[in-house]
Every structure is written in C-alpha cells, then in structure tokens.
Amino acid sequence: MASGLNPVAPPPLTPDQAAARGEQWWPVALAILVAALLHVVLPAKYRVSPPWVVPVVMLALLAALIIGDPGRIDRQKPWLRITTRIAIAFMTMANLFAAAHLVADILTNNKLFANNAVGLLATGGVIWATNVITFGLWFWDLDRGGAAARAHQPYANPSLVFPEMQHASYVPTTWVPIFADYLVLAFWTATAFSPTDISAIKRWAKLLMMMEAVASLGIGALVIARAINILQ
C-alpha cells in the first residue's frame, strides 16, 4: 500500500549500491563547522577555554571522519561510529557549558548583560541555534544505526517516521532521510516543543525530543524574560 509503511525491509544493498546511495558529507560538515563557529563568537565567559579548543578539536575529528570515509558516507567501521559520537558529544558538552553559565548568570542577576538586552538575546540565540544543530546531529547519527548503515539498509528498523514514509507515492522510491530532514526535526522540536509531522516510534527518540524541547523552552523563557526585564 503506497500510503503505509512497508513492514518487510528489503535485503541490504551491495557495497557499490551503498556507495552510490550514501549521504554526502558537506551538509554534515557545514553543520559541524557552523556549530564550532557559533561557540567561538560567544562571550569569553561562555566559551570553553582556551578559545581555540572547540574549533580545533571539531576540525580534527571532522577531518578524521572524512579521511576514514571519503566520498559518500557508506563505510561501516566501529571507529568511525565512535569518532562521530565523540564529535557530537564534544559539541554538546561545549554548548551545555555555555548554556549552564548563561542560566546561572540570569538566575543570579549577573551584571554582564545588566543593560544590554540585545547582547543577552544574541547570546541566547547562539546557544539555542547550536542546540538545534547538535540535536539534529544526534537524530541523524542514531536513527537506523547512522548514515553508513542507512546506505546499506535504507529501510531497516526506523526510529523516526517521516511523512515521506507514509506517503510514498509523492516521493521517489529511493527516498531515505538525510541530515537536512533530521535538522528540520530538531528545529521544529525546539520551536514547537512537540512532534510535528515527524513521529518518534522508539523510546530513545521520544526521550531525545523531550530533552531538546525542555532545554529549548528553558533557555528561551529565561533569556526572553530577562531581556524584557532589562528593557523595562
């Protein structure tokens, strides 16, 4: 049935087919570089010290991933999976460091943004945007075993159900979610604070969406409330 999910996954693709269907690196690489750059533009108090640590570490990990899996993402090697998760976890921790300091400053009435609502909103916006990117990367890496696994078994064991999977007649038969789809999921979770047209069907995915919504709501509410207080 074209509008339903196929309960039987086709057999794995051959290595050549997987290499042809694997995702391109550049959207993921661009997202990682943007996240690293956003961390660098934060006020010094909210950055990991020294300031070059985050961009250098992220560039090194990204280079290792691209060298280890050149071309399209299709190589299923344990060290590549581990390196990918280290890179995402490192960016997550760096942004958590910034968010924790910002929340602490707001709750303790720190004078850093005492008369600078624009600076406060800009800092909160940078942390929020980085949060969206990091959660998008987590969704992308965890769903169906990651990008390389999806290249070999595109339809096996999904954790997230996209509209294209339910309305297959509107998309090519080879459609499989890529990083942009997971980034959209992270964005809508951070703005709507609930699932939109993408449904989580595995508990880890539900919990991850809940964590992102709580983080986004907490940061957004505190930053906006403090900015309004400054302007009054």
Q: What is the pLDDT of residue 13?
A: 60
The model carries a pTM of 0.89
Q: In degrees, to the nearest 5, what angle opens at C-alpha 33 toward C-alphas 29 and 39?
A: 150
Cis peptide bond N-terminal to 50, omega within 30: yes
- SS3 (DSSP) at 9: coil
Q: What is the pLDDT of residue 171?
A: 85
- SS3 (DSSP) at 51: coil
Segments making up each domain of the chain, as ranges: 15-231
Task: Locate the DSSP E strands across the chain.
Answer: 160-161, 199-200
Which residues lie across from 199 on neighbouring strands? 161
> Cβ distance 76 to 148 under 8 Å?
yes
How far is residue 208's CA from residue 71's CA, in Å, rounded to a whole number? 30
Return per-residue pLDDT of the chain as tens, 232 residues.
444 454 455 666 665 555 567 899 999 999 999 999 999 999 999 999 898 999 999 999 999 999 999 989 999 999 999 999 999 999 999 999 999 999 998 888 777 777 888 989 999 999 999 999 999 999 999 999 999 999 888 888 899 999 998 888 888 888 899 999 999 999 999 998 777 789 999 999 999 999 999 999 999 999 988 888 888 7
Token code pair at residue 63: 């280079």
Q: What is the pLDDT of residue 228?
A: 86
Residue 177 phi/psi, 5° resolution? Answer: -60, 145
How far is residue 182's CA from residue 137's CA, in Å, rounded to a whole number? 7
Provide the residue type at 65 as one letter: L
Selection from 45, 226, 39 nearest residue 121 by Cα: 226
Q: What is the pLDDT of residue 7?
A: 47
Q: What is the pLDDT of residue 17?
A: 59
Q: What is the DSSP string of 83-102?
A: HHHHHHHHHHHHHHHHHHHH
